[in-house]
Amino acid sequence: MADASKFPIRARTILEVLGKPKAHVEKTIRMLIEEIKENPNISILHEKFETAKKMEKSLFSTYVEIEMIAKGMDTLVGFCFDYMPSSIDIEKPEELVLKNSDISLVFNDLLSKLHNVDMVAKQLRAESSFLKKNLNNMLRNNIAVLISVGKNTLEKLEKLSGINPERLKEFLDLEVKKGKLTLKDEIYGTV
């Protein structure tokens, strides 16, 4: 049995990229492979690229299957954290012996990545909330200006605001309910 912390590990893995346009997706996956090749602890033995295929909502998806050798378990785990392969199959060695210190390193790396992901998620939630609040304020101001110049029916507000009709109706109904707008005979007014 080999000491996994030092022994080369041969694996097959699949990396996927989703995005648009098609040329960008295909260029990005090739750039990923070039980036991996710069890692002195990883050797790519074989790579097989697939042509990007159109998915839903004009997105394209492609993948590359690679056969590689990673110098040690920590390198392989780092590769998984950095590139998030969709699958990995360790071919050699058939058995690995992990010391508890090696396992601790893997778990600590995992926890570090999870904390980073959690921090990014919280930051994105805060930014989303901030943007939503400001967008609603801008929409409220835009509607008030349109109403003040006589563009005060749902149809006129839809046309001039460029807002999705259903979303605009929801927003206007909420503003009326809050008492920030009035609605009489299908004509909106400011309070």
Q: What are the per-10-residue average pLDDT scores of the chain (191 residues)? A: 68 93 92 95 94 88 94 87 90 83 80 87 93 88 83 83 84 88 84 79
Two structure tokens written together for 70: 């990673």
| 4 three-class SS | coil
Two structure tokens written together for 165: 């009709």
- At residue 131, the pLDDT reads 94
| Contact between residue 117 and residue 160 where contact means Cβ atoms under 8 Å apart | no
* Whole-angstrom distance, CA of residue 108 vs CA of residue 152: 59
Q: Checking DSSP bridges between strand 96-97 and strand 2-3, what pairing results, if any? A: parallel
Q: What are the beta bridge partners of residue 13?
A: 66, 88
- At residue 5, the pLDDT reads 57
Preceding amide of 8 cis, omega within 30: no
CA-based R_g, the chain, Å: 27
User: Domains, the chain, ranges and CATH?
Assistant: 2-98 (3.30.70.60), 135-190 (1.10.10)
